[in-house]
Structure 1
Amino acid sequence: MADTPGSEGPEDLDGGTVSAQSNAREVTKSENIEHAANLPKQAPFDNLDAFGTDIAFKGNYAFVGNYDGLVVYDISNPKKPAIVSQVACPGGQGDVSISGNLLFVSTDYPRSNNTCQSEERTAADPDAWEGMKVFDVSDPAKPRYVSAIATDCGSHTHTLVPDKAGESVYLYISSYGPKPEFPNCQPPHDKISIIEVPLANPAEPVLVDAPVLFPDGGNPGQPGGIRETSGCHDITVFPEKDLAAGACMGDGVLFDISDREKPRVINQVRDDENFAFWHSATFVDGGKTQRAKHT
């Protein structure tokens, strides 16, 4: 719900949306990079709206989310990737992560229900559904839909966090774009949603909390492009250090996640001179430094 279709589409080297003409131009690259392969999209994902969003890896497989579903690739030979299976399951964004045989997929556009046969709805529909879907990919050739759970404002991105006992995984759901006329995405929405998925029973995910991260409202934003804070765009975790870094549009945030169900903000950074939109974050090796990407 956060973005209109295509607003986070493929970008060219100058930051603009890639057009059919620019796709045909020569690709520039560093001398130490070799173009290994190019595998065109195939039906049902050969349309312009089904651009890829995220990739999760397991063994010899890559699980690629897109706005209309997901594709599983065999990458055992990197120079000859092959499509193993495709799942048509429209819902926007399609951010993916994997743990063991479980694949998690974000749904960020309102749908008529939580199935892969759902239809488009508007965010003003109180019965519209958005949130997280869970698939069993123990057989990559036959991904199996397991369960789903709704979250406020859907799931633009999500971050997988293993628990310390090895019995569950947690999903930190980032979403935004609240409006008073959206019954399931009410402002101020200064929060994330936390889902627990029991590994022994992935058919029963549970929404354990939706903590407010910015009780003061966060960055109010400024004319000229500084984005107000109303949730987070993306969160990166360093489980071994019990840390998470949040890119929350107007604010950069560092969390203590020693209690996976109760992440605690321990530092907050605001830089309206150099950052218009905190978009993503990562840690360097060792976890002593975090870096942020801004737009």
Structure 2
Amino acid sequence: MNSDVAFKGNYVIQGNFQGYSIWDVTDPSQPKLVHAERCPEQQNDVSVYKNLLFLSGESQNGRVDCGPQGVQAPASPERFRGVRVIDISDLTKPRIVANVQTCRGSHTHTLVTDPKDTSVVYIYVSGQAPVRPAEELAGCSGALPYQDTASARFRIDIIRVPLAHPEQASIVSRPRIFEALNAPPSHGPSSTDSATATHFADSASATGAYVIKFQGSPIVLPPPFVQPLLDSIAKKNGRTAANGADSAALRGAIQGIIDAEFGAPKGPTGQPMGPDQCHDITVYPQMGLAGGACAGYGLLLDIRDPAHPVRLAAASDSNFAYWHSATFSNDATKVIFTDEWGGGVAPRCRATDKPEWGADAIFTLENRRALQFRGYYKPAAPQTSTENCVAHNGNVIPVPGRDIMIQGWYQGGVSLFDFTDPAHPMEIAYFDRGPMDSTKLEMAGSWSAYWYNGYIYSTEISRGLDVFELQPSALLSQNEIDAAKLVKVAYQNVQDQQRATWPASFVVARAYVDQLERSKGLPADRISAVRTSLTNAERASGASRKNALTALATQLDRDAAGSADSKKVLAVAAVARALAR
């Protein structure tokens, strides 16, 4: 199974559940596999910076040496849970230089650059595994924070990596960004899923299976979960094998065991506590902000001091089952949070599913200190019951003047949408190859879809790597696509968002003009005249070009006063003046 990707120069680094692969995409139409490294682990979330690769791990069987044999002992120095630091100076011979162990492992991580100190990077660690025993990693405590101030719960771990000596990477802080958050309201299962689950549970119960209630639905417990509990009761009662009395005792106790193990813990006042970990954190260092998608909440963080982030705001939504990831608009006036309802393994884009469930929620940032909900986005085309589908990973495409995002939806495909108006997001284009198997549900689809230097790369869970190129339409012009392609970056970790800037270019001016035509921000005759002026100026040179562009900018200033989209008119004028210099 393939997972997420990171980008470095002409290379795509793709994580998977057995390690990672490195692709040469110098020719995006013909990716070439450069190297495949085996390191069995759950997910292997990746990020890259210069010649360093970072790899997440939280599996019970992950090993320090990346061996395939796993770890059997309940506590072992051979087990790895945390973030690996890997030297990839030679892409064909990666070398582990540090294994930074954490108490809860690393489901995902975020590389954080510091604009004030380029000699280091930080890693924000989001670990979801149970707390390790102190016998395996000293200092790990599974108690609640009010019971033990050293608790490994309700915090994130932050690793500092000195770039000159990455082998010295270590945890430098453990901020408690979840303090005082109570368990938020959430919806239960859909009526379709509830009926299906009840029928299955009733049938299983009739054959002797153990059935419990979890998050509003009946769940049939698998035998590998039940058997150790039965064995424990039998042993307590002096038996080597469980009998009917032991089974009856477990049936009476099993719901309480599940509630205690997996239910929201209660704080000192008896109130159920909120999330104790994030799934993903997206940072925007140039803006000093981060968006934390943290199970039951979306968080806005101040990261101007990257080693000590501070929570500014928290939003909850009963339509959201699991806040999964975050994406800022380029100007950081908006942030999108995704809801991975069903964990990505279930069909959640059926015609019977509510459009607000398993969707994107779009917020505006009020004074960069508060979150204001504006709207939802979910592709309109319904998917079948044999396609796992829900909101997942994506990023912003740098089209000047618009907020456009590309996003993977598992077997729902890849969706391109505009959220410039956050209350009315609109799909522009999509790619959907259909179900992996039309007769049964199989895990597949787009884990993530990311724009990188002119192309869209989608990591397909079961099929490999897809590469897409945008095509013009009535909703997206060739000029807008070409303007987006002007933005180049040396590397990209999508959760470490970089601000896009555009050079003064005729294609950028034309992209704005196309938008004015689409929005009717100027009359048709003025649109035509501006296009003619741009064409004539581009053909001219020296003083003639400068004078033509200056005259165009002056006329556009006058046009702006009567335009319904004056900001966009002034944007064209600004580009014309920049070109005239």
- Which digits, 9 at most, give the CA deviation of each residue in 1:233-260, with x for residues without a partner? 0000111001000000011100000111
Counterpart of 1:22?
none
Counterpart of 2:320?
275
Q: 1:209 to 1:190 in 2, by over 3 A?
A: same
Determine what percentage of the aligned residue pairs are the same residue: 39
Counterpart of 2:337?
292
* Cα distance in 2 for residues equivalent to 1:153 and 1:293: 23
Is 1:266 the equivalent of 2:216? Answer: no
Q: State the shift of 1:121 in Å.
A: 3.4
Any gaps of 5 or more consecutive residues in structure 2? 135-139, 145-152, 189-214, 217-263, 265-273, 342-581
The structure 2 residue matched to 1:235, chosen from 272, 281, 284, is: 281
Q: State the shift of 1:152 in Å.
A: 1.7
Is 1:165 the equivalent of 2:210? Answer: no
- Which digits, 9 at most, give the CA deviation of each residue in 1:126-153, with x for residues without a partner? 6543001111112222222221110121
The structure 1 residue matched to 2:292, chosen from 246, 264, 282, is: 246
* Cα distance in 2 for residues equivalent to 1:139 and 1:126: 31
RMSD: 2.3
Any gaps of 5 or more consecutive residues in structure 1? 1-50
Counterpart of 1:70?
20
Counterpart of 1:257?
303
- Which digits, 9 at most, give the CA deviation of each residue in 1:256-291, with x for residues without a partner? 00111100000011112x111101111011111111
* Cα distance in 2 for residues equivalent to 1:286 and 1:216: 30
Counterpart of 1:93?
43
Is 1:152 the equivalent of 2:100? Answer: no
Contact kept? 1:61, 1:73, Cα under 8 Å: yes
Structure 1 letter corresponding to 2:331: G
- Which digits, 9 at most, give the CA deviation of each residue in 1:168-202, with x for residues without a partner? 000000112436x8555725511111000100001
Q: State the shift of 1:124 in Å.
A: 4.7
Q: 1:76 to 1:185 in 2, by over 3 A?
A: farther
Q: 1:254 to 1:70 in 2, by over 3 A?
A: same
Q: 1:221 to 1:293 in 2, by over 3 A?
A: same
> Secondary structure of the equivalent of 1:146?
strand
Q: How does 1:170-185 map to 2 (within 5 A)?
A: 170-178=122-130, 184=140
* Cα distance in 2 for residues equivalent to 1:84 and 1:142: 11
- Give 1 or 2: higher helix fraction: 2
Q: 1:112 to 1:285 in 2, by over 3 A?
A: closer
The structure 2 residue matched to 1:80, chosen from 24, 30, 39, is: 30
> Secondary structure of the equivalent of 1:109?
coil
Contact kept? 2:41, 2:62, Cα under 8 Å: no
Contact kept? 2:52, 2:88, Cα under 8 Å: yes
TM-score, scaled relative to structure 1: 0.76
Contact kept? 2:105, 2:129, Cα under 8 Å: no
Q: State the shift of 1:58 in Å.
A: 0.8
TM-score, scaled relative to structure 2: 0.40
Q: 1:185 to 1:278 in 2, by over 3 A?
A: farther
- Give 1 or 2: higher strand fraction: 1
Moved over 4 A (4+): 181-185, 220-223, 225-228
Structure 2 letter corresponding to 1:263: P
Quick check: 185-194 or 51-60, which moved more?
185-194
Contact kept? 1:111, 1:130, Cα under 8 Å: no
* Cα distance in 2 for residues equivalent to 1:257 and 1:112: 31
Q: State the shift of 1:219 in Å.
A: 2.1
The structure 1 residue matched to 2:158, chosen from 186, 194, 212, is: 194
